[in-house]
Structure 1
Amino acid sequence: MVPGRPCSVAATLQLVGDRWSLLAAREVLFGNRRFSQIARNTGAPRDRLAARLKSLVADGILEKREYQATRFEYHLTDAGKELLGVLANLMAWGDRWVVDEPPMVLEHHGHQIQPVTVCGVCGQAVSEEDLHLVSRAPGWTVGGPAAQADVKPS
Structure 2
Amino acid sequence: MLGRTYDREVCSAARALEVVGERWSLLILRNAAFAGCTRFTDFQQRLGVAPNILSVRLALFVEEGLMETMLGESGHLEYHLTRKGQDLTPAIVALTAWGDRWAAPDGPPIAYGHAGCEGIVRMQLVCERCGEQVEAPQLTARPTAAMAAARQRRRLPPLPPR
Same fold (TM over 0.5): yes
Q: Structure 2 vs 1, CA of residues 50 and 132 (structure 1 numbering), >3 Å: closer, same or farther?
A: closer
List per-residue Cα deviations over 1:11-55 (Å, max 9, x = no partner).
110001112211111111022111111112222111100110000
Aligned to 1:134: 143
- Determine if the alignment matches structure 1 residue 146 to structure 2 residue 151: no
Aligned to 2:22: 18
Q: Aligned-residue CA RMSD in angstroms?
A: 2.4
User: Mind listing any 5+ residue stretches in structure 2 that lack a counterpart?
Assistant: none
What is the aligned length?
146
TM-score (norm 2): 0.78
The percent of aligned pairs where both chains have the same amino acid is 32
Matched ranges for 1:3-82 at <5 A: 3-30=7-34, 31-68=36-73, 71-82=76-87
Structure with more strand by fraction = 1
User: Mind listing any 5+ residue stretches in structure 1 that lack a counterpart?
Assistant: none
Q: How many angstroms does 1:130 deviate by?
A: 4.4
Aligned to 2:120: 112
Residues of 1 paired with 2:144 and 2:157: CA distance?
Answer: 10
Q: Structure 2 vs 1, CA of residues 11 and 34 (structure 1 numbering), >3 Å: closer, same or farther?
A: same
Q: How many angstroms does 1:118 deviate by?
A: 2.9
Q: How many angstroms does 1:121 deviate by?
A: 6.1
TM-score (norm 1): 0.81
